[in-house]
């Protein structure tokens, strides 16, 4: 009998994969808690919560039981002209957790579409007010998704290089590494004197795909405050950072100036089902409110506010605010601090950083030996029962909030073993 990996190779095209050099995929047969299990029964600690989604552990019974019960009542219904209890209940739970200025929720399917919706909202907001603006601001090396609007504001050429001639008009600025980003503020002043800027799209505090690049909260606040005063809408992409990754529920809570629009996905549904939400202020919503149909926001998805996904998100939020999960987040934060203190000065660590449950190490590697860095490092970890997916020579952890101390120490121990063998 053919293995699942061999069967996979016949018809499937995987994301972010060059199939000629990486034809084989590891077949995962089941998952439970912090573990993934392959066809042969080997277990791997999921040290990145499966791309920052399964933060309450895989197949969490509290969430799966709630979704199973919902499946018996209502599985799917068009969200244009209809509503349902899971969506309404979710909105009632989520709005109080968001920054105080957020008052409306728009549902879509994934992180990319959450950003796509946010960008379209911002552009049409200015259009509806009779003062069209076409230019967007974004950080260098940011990543916001793969759909065209989200890709346009992303700054990583490996993702959007072939499509740069088809992008929206975007001006990129450096991330603020200092408390007083004087040069960046001067650049923004120059930009705003010549350009009609609609919105600034940014990953608050941590740029995920840019190897967990972290920036200064006071510096970011200076930029946000300046742009807000100039009438530029602020779009916070919290797809990765949202729901506890930076210690707070949302990274935007760490800055006094709040975004006008927030993009959410990933941990929103705890990795169980795909769904996204783009939240906005009452002021944004009012710009679309009126008697003219054309003034409305004509964007929709077949599975918008799917009842099962809404139920998963509602159960996930209930877990998030529980003391068990909050204490788990605090425990991971402290463990990260202790580990970095222990590793301070290690000759194979070029730099290190952490924010909330996110920890990142930039390794000092001999590039001639580690030509295909990510794959070699990933193989090292997988051979030792740990699933980590390095970003080049940067290794990062973002474990589920339910990880046990012994499992967390295994992640650290495997990192130490790697450092000692380099």
CB 64 within 8 Å of CB 216: no
Write out the chain's pLDDT in tens, 422 residues: 888 999 999 999 999 899 999 999 999 999 999 999 999 999 999 999 999 999 999 999 999 999 999 999 999 999 999 999 999 999 999 999 999 999 999 999 999 999 999 999 999 999 999 999 999 999 999 999 999 999 999 987 777 778 888 889 999 999 999 999 999 999 999 999 999 999 999 999 999 999 999 999 999 999 999 999 999 999 999 999 999 999 999 999 999 999 999 999 999 999 999 999 999 999 999 999 999 999 999 999 999 999 999 999 999 999 999 999 999 999 999 999 999 999 999 999 999 999 999 999 999 987 544 458 888 999 999 999 999 999 989 999 999 999 999 999 999 999 999 999 98
Q: Which domains does the chain have, with CATH numbers?
A: 63-320 (3.40.640.10), 323-421 (3.90.1150.10)
Q: How far is the C-alpha of 52 from the C-alpha of 269, rounded, in Å?
A: 11
DSSP state of 180: S
The sign of the CA dihedral 61, 64, 67, 71 is negative
Q: Enter the tokens of residue 368.
A: 């001639």
Length of the chain: 422
Q: Compute the radius of gyration of the chain from its Cα atoms.
A: 22
Contacts of 229 by beta carbon, 8 Å cutoff, 6+ apart: none
**138 phi-psi bin (left φ>0, alpha ψ -120 to 50, beta other):** beta
List, in sequence order, the alpha helices (H) in 241-344.
282-286, 307-320, 323-343
Q: Which residues contact 250 (CB under 8 A, 6 or more apart)?
A: 97, 98, 99, 204, 236, 238, 241, 242, 243, 262
Helices (H), 110-241: 111-128, 148-152, 157-160, 182-194, 217-229
Degrees to nearest 5, angle at CA 222 with 216 and 228: 130
């Amino acid at each position: 009998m053919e293995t699942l990996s061999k069967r996979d190779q016949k018809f499937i095209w995987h994301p972010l994969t060059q199939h000629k050099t990486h034809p084989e995929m590891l077949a995962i047969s089941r998952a439970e808690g912090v573990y993934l299990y392959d066809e042969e029964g080997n277990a791997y600690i999921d040290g990145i919560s499966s791309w920052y989604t399964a933060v309450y552990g895989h197949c969490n019974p509290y969430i799966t039981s709630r979704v199973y019960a919902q499946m018996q009542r209502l599985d799917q219904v068009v969200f244009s002209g209809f509503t349902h209890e899971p969506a309404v209940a979710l909105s009632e739970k989520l709005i109080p957790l968001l920054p105080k200025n957020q008052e409306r929720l728009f549902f879509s399917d994934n992180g990319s579409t959450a950003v796509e919706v946010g960008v379209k909202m911002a552009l049409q907001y200015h259009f509806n007010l009779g003062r069209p603006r076409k230019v967007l601001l974004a950080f260098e090396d940011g990543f916001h998704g793969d759909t065209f609007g989200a890709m346009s504001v992303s700054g990583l050429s490996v993702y959007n290089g072939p499509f740069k001639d088809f992008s929206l008009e975007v001006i990129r600025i450096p991330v603020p590494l200092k408390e007083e980003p004087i040069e960046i503020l001067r650049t923004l002043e120059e930009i705003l004197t010549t350009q009609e800027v609609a919105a600034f799209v940014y990953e608050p505090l941590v740029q995920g795909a840019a190897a967990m690049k972290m920036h200064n909260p006071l510096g970011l606040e200076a930029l946000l405050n300046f742009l807000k005063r100039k009438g530029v809408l602020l779009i916070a992409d919290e797809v990765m950072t949202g729901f506890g990754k930076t210690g707070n529920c949302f990274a935007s809570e760490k800055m006094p100036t709040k975004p006008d629009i927030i993009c959410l996905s990933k941990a929103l549904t705890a990795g169980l089902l795909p769904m996204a939400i783009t939240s906005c202020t009452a002021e944004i919503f009012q710009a679309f409110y009126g008697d003219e149909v054309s003034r409305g926001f004509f964007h929709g998805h077949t599975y918008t506010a799917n009842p099962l996904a809404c139920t998963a998100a509602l159960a996930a939020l209930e877990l998030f605010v529980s003391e068990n999960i909050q204490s788990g987040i605090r425990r991971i934060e402290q463990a990260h601090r202790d580990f970095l203190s222990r590793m301070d000065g290690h000759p194979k660590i070029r730099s290190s950083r952490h924010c909330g449950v996110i920890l990142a190490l930039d390794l000092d590697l001999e590039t001639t030996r580690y030509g295909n860095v990510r794959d070699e490092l990933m193989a090292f970890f997988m051979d030792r029962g740990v699933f980590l997916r390095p970003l080049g020579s940067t290794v990062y952890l973002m474990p589920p909030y339910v990880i046990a101390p012994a499992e967390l120490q295994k992640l650290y121990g495997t990192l130490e073993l790697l450092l000692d063998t380099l």
